[in-house]
A and B are shown apart, each in its own frame.
Chain A
C-alpha cells in the first residue's frame, strides 16, 4: 500500500510519517493515489503494428482503433483489446508442420480422393491475418479451426472434381487460387474476420503404395520427350543437308547450261570464221586440213601399206605390231 503511495506522491513522502500514528494518515493518502491510478487506466497506447477494439460494459463502441494514444473511460467500464492485425498466422491442413522439421521421410499428409478416384496425399499451409478485428475477437469461438475447416472443405471439393494428373502437374496453382478465393468467401459468411493471404500446397504426392508407378510415368514422359528430340535432331540434320545438295545440283545444272551455251557459241564462232576462209579457197584448204589431220593421227597408228592390185593377207594383222615382211 505504501509503495503505491510512494509512486503516486513521491514529493510528500517525508520522514515524519513514521513518527506519527500511521493509520489515519495513510488512509487519507491512499485514496487520492488510487484514484489517480484508476484514472490513468483510461489512457492507453496502441503500438504501430496493432489495432485495438474498445468495449463499454462488453458492447463494442469502437471497432477499429488505429495506432496512437487514446482515451477511454476507466476500468472496468471500458476495456481495450489490442490485436497484432498484420502478423501472419500459419495453419497446416493435413499433417503436422513439425514433421518436416523432424525429418521424416514420409511426412504426414492427409489423403484426398480425386475426381478419377485416385488417392493422393496433400498438405496445405494457410497463412492468414486479422481483417476485421471485431469479428475476429467476438464472432467465432476457435478462429483457426473455422479457417482450417473452410479451407479443407474447399480444397476437398476442388480435388474431387479434377483428375490426378492435373492435380499433380498443371492445376496446382489454379487449385491454390480457387481454394483461397472460395475459402475466403466462406469464412466471410462465418464472420471470422480473417483475411487469408496465401494457400500453399506444400506436398502433393501419390500414396507410397503407388509411388513407383507414378515415377515411371514421369520417366516415360522424359523418354518420350527424348526420342522426339532425337528425331527432331535427325530432321534438323537431314533437311538442311538436302537443301544444300539440291542447291548444289541446281548450280551445277546452271553451270552446265552456261558451259554448253558458251562452248557452242565459241565453236560456232570459230567454225564461222574458218568456214569463211575455207570458202575462199575450198580445194586448197580442204586438202590442207586433210593432210594436217593425217599428220596428227597417222604417227600414232600402226600402218600397213598394200598395193592396190595385190591381195591382202589378213593374217598380217594378227602378226602384231611390227610386221617383218610386208608385201
Chain B
C-alpha cells in the first residue's frame, strides 16, 4: 500500500523544451492517498498515459520527483517500485500456460516453488481463473487475458499500487461491465491503491472514488464524480463530463441578471456577487439535466426555438436555439410532454454556474 506523491513533476518528450506547449505534462503537484481508487480521465493526448508511466517508472520525468510513502523513487526502475501495470491490450507470455504467466514475476524474484504455488492459486481464485491454470495463455479470450495481466500484478504481495492504462479497450462491450465489477471487487478485497487511466467518463465515474480530470498536460480538477458533475472547476470538465456536456453561453452581468444576447436570466444573490467580482470573459453554464424544458410559457422561463429532439430511451434530449445563435441542450424527463417548435426554458438559479476565462467562479 502506498501513498504516491508527485512533487512538481513535469515532462517533455523533446530534448530542449522551451514553451509550455513543448511539455506533455505541465506542472503536476499531487498526492494520492493509500488504498484509494482513482481515475485519470481526459481526452487523447492530455498526458494521462505519460503521467501513468512516470508513476510506474517506465518514464523518468524531466523535472520533479516521485515519492512512494515519502521515499524518493524517481530514479528507481519499475521492477523495484512495487507497482504493477495493466496495458491497453493483453500483454502476456504467449508461450506459457496461465499458471506460468502468473508465476513469472515471483520466479524472477527468487521465490520457492511452494510459495509460488500458494500465491498463484490464491490470485487465480480471486480472479476466477482457477479452471484455466493449465491452459496456454494465448488461447483465451481477451477479458481472461486481461485478468491474467492483472493477476501478474496481484501475485506480488508487496505490490503497492496497480496502474491501469485503458485496460478495457479491447474487451467486448458486454464483458466490460463484468470486468469492471471484478476490478472493484479486487479493490475492496485487497485495499490496494488503484490508478485507472481512461478517456471514457462512464468508466471513470463508475470505477473511481476520486476522478482526476486532465487536459493538455495539466490536472484540471480532482474530485468525486458528484463534485465534478455539479461544480466543474473548468469549462473543459463541464464539457467533458456528462452526456451531453454542460451548456455554455457567453453573457454579461446586469445587476442580478445574466444577459445572453437579448435574453435576461435571473441569478441568485450568491452567483450574482461572484459574477460582479469577476474580471475575464464571462460565460453562463448549466447542465442539460437541470435545465427545465416546458412546452408553454411558465413563470421565469425564456422562449427558445426547438431544433431537434433525440430519444435516448428513458429520456429525451431537446436541442434548442436561444436567442439568435446560442444552442443549448436540455434533458426532458420521461413522461413530460415534448415541445414542438417552441419551448420555454427555465434556468433554476441554484444550478446556474458562472465561468470567467473558462474557470468556475466560486467562493
Partners in one complex: no
